[in-house]
Amino acid sequence: MRIALFSDIHANLPALEAFFKDVESRDTDAIYCLGDLVGYNIWPNEVVDEIRKRGIPTIAGNYDFGIGRGSDDCGCAYKTDDEKANGKVSISFTNEIMKDEQRAYLRTLPAHIRLEFQLSDKPLSVLLVHGSPRRINEYLFEDRDEKSMLRIMEQAGADVMLFGHTHKPYHRILESVQTDGSDQFRHAINIGSVGKPKDGDPRGGYVILHINQDASVTDKLSISAEFVRFAYDVEKAAKAVEDCILPNAYAESLRIAK
């Protein structure tokens, strides 16, 4: 089974359209969206409509959670005063242009989706969250302490966990010993961002999760993540930012992927 997972589109319609074109050429079995459809660009309604039109199972991101409730807090961890001031402009702009029907969609998005497989004698639980299982806006970076990462996954009962929110893709395999002495491999997979990558590569990114027919937590290679990058019209998305009230810094971050 090959499952496409994408997230953090952030109102970037040119990137989303390029994503659909790319994923449709790859013959996947299912598609899920891990949230943050809106914020930072001018097409939040269009992005919601494109995802709804396809009936794609989608969970809420922190930005969707805020906009869905008409709140002026997106739950984002801005560090500097400039970032905070820019963030305020973005959320109030998004709240202003969001239409009722699209906002109502964001309001009732689920928080988590879990896929329970039974492909060997042991069950396999695949958990989809936006930030972390504990909090919609927790950042799970690649350098997080291994013990902490394992604890988060154990507490959530997740053998495979897919998430976004940081816009920096990675796949980490965490090894632990089970009560019966056998090795267990957990997979923590950050799927990157379609519309606002921050890993230095301005192309959009998403993941195709490969699950073998006999996949199991004890077989390390029976689950793998393919990181896909696709080119899109970055300049169009950056110009859209510059031509509206949104801070120009957001255009620059699309161009340099920071």
Report in angstroms how near the CB of residue 33 gets to other proteins at its nearest. Answer: 10
Report in angstroms how near the CB of residue 183 gets to other proteins at its nearest. Answer: 23
Nearer to other proteins, 24 or 201 (CB): 24
User: If you search the block for the tokens 């995802």, which residue do you land on?
Assistant: 51
Q: Characterize the bridge pairing of strands 30-33 and 2-6.
A: parallel
> Letter for the amino acid at 98?
M
Report in angstroms how near the CB of residue 151 gets to other proteins at its nearest. Answer: 20
Nearer to other proteins, 56 or 249 (CB): 56
Nearer to other proteins, 60 or 254 (CB): 60
CA nearest to 200, candidates 227, 242, 233, 169? 169
Q: What's the rounded Cα separation, in Å, for the pair 82 and 89?
A: 11
Nearer to other proteins, 63 or 250 (CB): 63
Q: What's the rounded Cα separation, in Å, for the pair 208 and 171?
A: 12
CA nearest to 75, candidates 150, 139, 158, 122? 139
- Which positions lie near other proteins, rule CB under 8 A? 1, 4, 27-32, 52-58, 104-105, 107-119, 126, 211-213, 215
Q: What's the rounded Cα separation, in Å, for the pair 8 and 35?
A: 6
Report in angstroms how near the CB of residue 208 gets to other proteins at its nearest. Answer: 12
